Structures are given as structure tokens and as C-alpha cells.
Amino acid sequence: MNFSSDNAFGASPEIIEAIARANADALGSYGADPLAAKVEERLKEIFETDLRAFLVSTGTAANAITLASLSPPWGTVFCHEVAHIAEDECGAPEFYGGGLKLHLLPGEQARIDPVALSAALLEAGARGVHQAQPAALSLTNLTEMGALYTAAQLSELCGIAHAKGMAVHLDGTRFANALVAGNESAAAISWQAGVDVLCLGATKNGALAAEVVIFFEPERQAARIAEFEFRRKRGGHLVSKGRLLSSQMDAYLTDDLWLRNARHANAMGQKVAAALAAHPEIDVLNEPQANMIFARIPLPVHRRLREAGAAYYLEPASQTEDGDGEAVMVRLVCAPTTPESDIDNFLAICAGEN
């Protein structure tokens, strides 16, 4: 019963098989393998548009190298105050970006509030060289609170950013979860809404370590793409045996593995959410639209779960296993490989049945 993170588990069997299958021959190194080209073609189909795609092994690398290619060192990247790039990457965007700034914005369910964004941009950069200049907006879908942006919500935010001359980055670590949780196409919730660069994650949704950075409208973004490629190399992220990454991404996008994985994780998440919401003593703290649930769990229930070996993170507000003395705040994440039996077991313990 491990709900600590979608990266606590291994990969889908298809991913492992693909790595093994790609191992056979001598292939071009450093991204020049045929599978990388195949991945790019497949992404064009999925997103129904022209694009350029670059593989890296971690989400932090994908985000940070991308942002450095969208913002000068004296630029400001606007993001949500609990965004992964702000909270969990130890300053990777600032490092790759030569000292750029993150400007933190509020918003319910970790969605950026458009009013707050507009207000922040009102004076941003107005004093010329005395101030950092607005350079990029960074969104995350699924959000860090497990919520979904609709295409309309994305469009509104992207529109505000573009009107200020800013680029838009979408951290899509859980893009598949967002995609299958909504009713809109991959194109609709990315470039059609105004996203310039999408960091599409696979690691948390069934791969071992593979992310793909997608530049839409590649001709318009040719200068950024060239920067990205140099920055990727200088960051040590141009893997020599590129097949390790391309084989994973190829399998991920084949036969809808990515969507199947996300659907399972979301279904498990929704099952947990519904059961916890129905529990008389447990409060669900977010609007769980996919595979992430934040909840306040009474200490007796929490202790029963821990005794049974359940793994999950306590939120910072609950610093110790004793929480506030009555309950703890927890984050539960379901993965593509989370067995339904674990869910049933977990919920039975919550209900006091085990």
C-alpha cells in the first residue's frame, strides 16, 4: 500500500520490454536514433500539429532547461506558489536560467488566479533595467493539488501572458492524468490554448525515466529550440545511448499506454476520493479530479494505516506523525501500477473494517 508518489513504483512492463528490444543493434548516439524520430512523428499525430521534441531523463531537467530557453537571466517566470519549479527543484530554474526570478502567484487548487496574474503584470518590468522583465508564464496541469485546468482556463491565462509578450511553459508531469480526466483533446489543452512549450512527463505515469520537451510552432521558436539543444548538452542531459529514452517514450505513446495508465491511476484516485469523502471523520481537502487526494485523517485512522504498512506523505502542516494532536493532513497519490486490492485494503482500514 504505497501512495507516497507516482514515482515509487517501477515501470509498466511495456516500457521494460521496449528498453530490452531497443538494445539490439548499433544505433546513432546522442538523439540520432530512429526511435527518437518515430517519437517526434507520433507526437505530431497526437497533438495534430507540427512540433519538435527533445528527450531528457528528469522532469526537473525538462522544466529548467526549457525555462532557461524562454527567459533571459533578467527575466521573471510567473508560476503558482506551490509549483514544482518553485518548491521542489532546489532552484534548478534559477541555475539553468543564469539567475532568473520566479514570481509566485496564488490561486485555488494550485491553479493560477487570472486576476492575480493580471495584477502582477500590471507594473512588471515598467521601470526598464531597474527591474526583472516578465518573460514566461509557467502552468502545471494536472496541478500540484490534483486539479485540472480546462482549455478555457488555460486560454485565459495564456492570453494574458501573450499580451505581455511572454512565452508559456506547461509542466506536464501529469499531463496524461489531466488529459484523461477532462473531455478535451491534447491539442486543445496545449498549443491551441496558447502553450508554447510542453514538458510531457512519462516517468510518473509508467516509464522509468523519460520526459519529452515539445516545442510547438517550431519555425517561430527556432531560436529557442537552438538554445534548448545547447543548454541540454551543457546540462549533461544529452544521453549518449539515446535509445534508453526514446524506447521508453515510444512504448509510452504506443497503443495508448500513456492514456491507459493514466485512466487506471485516475480511477483508483477517484475511488479513494469518493470513499474518503463518504467517511464521517475524514475531510477531503482538495477537489480530486484525477489521481491525487489531499485529506485530513483522524489520528486513530492514521495509526491503523501506518501499522498496516500504508505509505504516504504528510503535508508540511502536519510536521509529525501526531499532526495537530487530532488528525494529520496527508497526500495520497495513485500510480498506474497501484493494484485495486491496495485501494480496497486501504479503504477498509479507514472504515475500521480491517
Residues between 234 and 263 that touch a second copy (CB under 8 A): 234-241, 243-244
- Backbone phi, psi, residue 48, to 5°: 55, 40
Q: Which of 229, 256, 281, 283 binds a second copy (CB under 8 A)?
A: 229
Contacts to a second copy from residues 271-290, by CB under 8 A: none
Query: Do strands 101-105 and 75-80 pair parallel, antiparallel, or not at all (unpaired)?
Result: parallel
Residues 111-140 that bind a second copy (CB under 8 A): 122-123, 126-133
- The span from the CA of 249 to the CA of 258, in Å, is 9
In whole angstroms, how close is the CB of 80 to a second copy at the nearest point? 15
- Residues between 309 and 328 with contacts to a second copy, criterion CB under 8 A: 311, 316, 319
According to CB under 8 A, which one of 43, 64, 259, 297 is a site residue for a second copy? 64
Site string for a second copy, 293-312 (x = CB under 8 A): ------------------x-
| Distance between CA atoms of residues 341 and 292, nearest Å | 18
**With CB under 8 A, what is the number of residues at the site for a second copy?**
80
Instruction: Say if residues 146 and 291 touch (Cβ distance below 8 Å).
Output: yes
The alpha-carbon radius of gyration of the chain (Å, integer) is: 21
Name residues whose C-beta falls within 8 Å of residue 108's C-beta, 6 or more positions apart in sequence: none
Question: Is 158 or 239 the residue whose CB approaches a second copy more closely?
Answer: 239
Helix (H) or strand (E) holding 67: helix 59-70
Binding residue (CB under 8 A) for a second copy from 73, 165, 300, 352: 73
Query: Residue 223 Cβ, how far from a second copy at the closest point, in Å?
Result: 11
Instruction: Kindly tell me which of 28 and 352 has the beta carbon lying closer to a second copy.
Output: 28
Residues from 4 through 63 that contact a second copy (CB under 8 A): 4-5, 7-11, 16, 19-20, 22-30, 56-62
Shortest Å distance, C-beta 123 to a second copy: 5
In contact, 87 and 331? CB cutoff 8 Å: no
Distance CA 240, CA 261 (A): 28
Residue 145 makes contact with a second copy by CB under 8 A? no
Residue from 153, 192, 203, 345 binding a second copy (CB under 8 A): 203
Cα 228 to Cα 226: distance, rounded to the nearest angstrom: 5
Cis check: omega of the bond before 142, within 30 degrees of 0: yes
